Chains A and B, each alone.
Chain A
Amino acid sequence: MAVVEFKGKKFEVDEDGFLQRFEDWCPEWVEYVKESEGIKEITEDHQKVIDFLQDYYKKNGIAPMVRILSKVTGYKLKQIYELFPSGPGKGACKMAGLPKPTGCV
């Protein structure tokens, strides 16, 4: 597994750049990932999505369905893609430090 260093922090990641351990997440991780996910500046809207994903994951042990993400944050899927160009899975979940989406993707 690769280890990346950013602003003095070390992160263990897989080939797709997902954090290996949710506990390793810290705000610096978001700063580190944003460029590779096509994001210039982290806005409040970004943060709101990230916060919700983390809360939901801590509470339920899984990532929320897209529909729930939309409903709770109030962002339509189109807006989520405007915020996170690679989408809620590859983009937002990665930044939030959630495990890599699996299944028939």
Chain B
Amino acid sequence: MPKHETPLLDQLESGPWPSFVSEIKRQSEARHQKQNEVEYQIPVDVCDDVLGVLEMSYNDGTCHWKHGGIVGVFGYGGGVIGRYCDQPDKFPGVAHFHTVRVNQPAGKYYTTEYLRQLCDLWDFRGSGLTNMHGSTGDIVLLGTRTEQLEEIFGVLTHEMNQDLGGSGSNLRTPACCLGESRCEFACYDTQELCYQLTMEYQDELHRPAFPYKFKFKFDGCPNGCVASIARSDMSFIGTWRDEIRIDQEAVAAYIGGELKPNAGAHADGEWGPFDIQKEVIDLCPSQCMSLEDGKLVIDNKECVRCMHCINTMPRALRIGNDRGLSILVGAKAPILDGAQMSSLLVPFIKVEPPYDEIKEVIENVWDWWMEEGKNRERLGETIKRLSFQKLLEVTGIKPMPQHVQEPRHNPYIFWKEEEVPGGWQRDIKEFRKLHQR
């Protein structure tokens, strides 16, 4: 017998997609069945009360969590998102319902052993509900009480060698695409760089010292499987600067129909036989490809490395051998002054341990933003306010055409005084000698 009636939520148990309602109900049953075996550290009916408060929200169309919440573990300024129900008497199981962010392994590869250990901990000291994973990448442990936080942190660190993720005005948990672990497009080891920079900047991750939040994301190539260009203040996107490697035999096999375009991604549609002219050459954004005597030719110096031809014929076309990444900066959601995607700052940089060149760019950007950034101003907004030029100055990067999509069209151009012969100090009397009033 469920603790609360949930007629609205019950409707979400039908249909083909995995139902979160059925899953929470299963977890609730499991807790009640095992309550004599496990000494649950938070109310056994936490899942029932989650459904209860959610049903209430479905009914009245408003949320029932109080504003904010400041909880955490000693030594850190973030990692836990405190939350309290605004109907604690009706739903005591979720009077406290804090979220714990746990730093995930790069690429989110797991062993069942690790996940079991985490689940045992969370069953015992939390709700048993999770989010796999938060948008930033963390493992999200959903719902526990304040008294359990240090206990959970103790087990995570002492027994599992596992740290918390980030929250607050700091470096948030970095994330990456699967990279070289299982993708032939990867231009660098995204997981390794993600891991190494996460370790390097643990202080910045655990102790908020920034004007606002700051995110890293690592994409192995311009396909952007972790969406770094849209969801990180500093986006690291793999690329190459030599030639696309062409296997002409495989090109012929695509033309002949033996190999499916896009690795069969459109196999369920009626798109007709593969037409290399129509589907690759004519779609190339820089029009730098052609077919000569049945051989595919690429004018690589005009190629913008958009990935389209490689995506379409992965068995025939491969990324170059001189690889690195581009650094783009400033992506953010709309608040306050409008959404931004990242803008190109470093067109190409080699990815070589111990990554000193990359760290230098990061630290130059931080030094500037930490000093100049206003309270709760994202890097993208600081750049807007103080100019891209200033960013180039502080990072020691020379302006180049690749820094813009197009040159400015307004003539409100600032000059530095030293660039202008004579400077800014002028005497009006001198002017009047030649120009009477």
**Which residues of A does B touch, CB under 8 Å?**
15-16, 18, 38, 62, 65-67, 77-78, 81, 85-90, 94, 100-105
The answer to whether A105 and B81 have CB atoms under 8 Å apart is: yes
Which residues on the A side are within 8 Å of B211 (C-beta)?
A: 65, 67
- Chain B residue, CB-CB nearest to A17: B70
Choose among B82, B169, B376 the residue that contacts A16 (Cβ–Cβ < 8 A): B82
Which residues on the A side are within 8 Å of B422 (C-beta)?
A: none
Q: Does B213 sit at the interface, judged by CB under 8 A?
A: yes
The answer to whether B70 and A16 have CB atoms under 8 Å apart is: yes
Chain A nearest Cβ from B88, distance in angstroms: 9
By secondary structure, the B interface counts as loop
- The distance in angstroms between the C-alpha atoms of A100 and B169, with both chains bound, is 15
- Chain B residue, CB-CB nearest to A93: B70
Which residues on the A side are within 8 Å of B69 (C-beta)?
A: 15-16
- Chain B residue, CB-CB nearest to A71: B371
Given contacts A15-B69, A89-B208, A90-B70, contact A104 B213 (CB under 8 A): yes
Given contacts A15-B84, A102-B67, contact A90 B376 (CB under 8 A): no
Chain B nearest Cβ from A89, distance in angstroms: 6
Which residues on the B side are within 8 Å of A65 (C-beta)?
A: 211, 375
A-B contact count (CB 8 A): 68
The answer to whether B71 and A90 have CB atoms under 8 Å apart is: yes
Contact with A along B101-128 (1 / 0, CB 8 A): 0000000000000000000000000000
Choose among B68, B213, B376 the residue that contacts A100 (Cβ–Cβ < 8 A): B68
Chain A nearest Cβ from B49, distance in angstroms: 16
Which residues on the A side are within 8 Å of B213 (C-beta)?
A: 104
Which residues on the A side are within 8 Å of B174 (C-beta)?
A: none
Choose the segment among B72-80, B179-187, B270-278, B381-389 that binds chain A (4+ C-beta atoms closer than 8 Å).
B72-80
- The distance in angstroms between the C-alpha atoms of A102 and B376, with both chains bound, is 11
Chain B nearest Cβ from A90, distance in angstroms: 5
- The distance in angstroms between the C-alpha atoms of A33 and B75, with both chains bound, is 17
Q: Does B370 sit at the interface, judged by CB under 8 A?
A: yes
The answer to whether B376 and A81 have CB atoms under 8 Å apart is: no
Given contacts A65-B375, A105-B81, contact A77 B168 (CB under 8 A): no
Given contacts A66-B209, A67-B209, contact A18 B77 (CB under 8 A): no
Choose among B74, B210, B370 the residue that contacts A86 (Cβ–Cβ < 8 A): B74
Chain B residues 155 to 201 lying within 8 A of chain A, measured CB to CB, are 167-169
Which residues on the A side are within 8 Å of B74 (C-beta)?
A: 38, 85-86
Given contacts A85-B75, A90-B77, contact A105 B68 (CB under 8 A): yes
Q: Does B260 sit at the interface, judged by CB under 8 A?
A: no
Q: Does B96 sit at the interface, judged by CB under 8 A?
A: yes
Chain A nearest Cβ from B391, distance in angstroms: 19
Chain A nearest Cβ from B249, distance in angstroms: 53
The answer to whether B208 and A87 have CB atoms under 8 Å apart is: yes
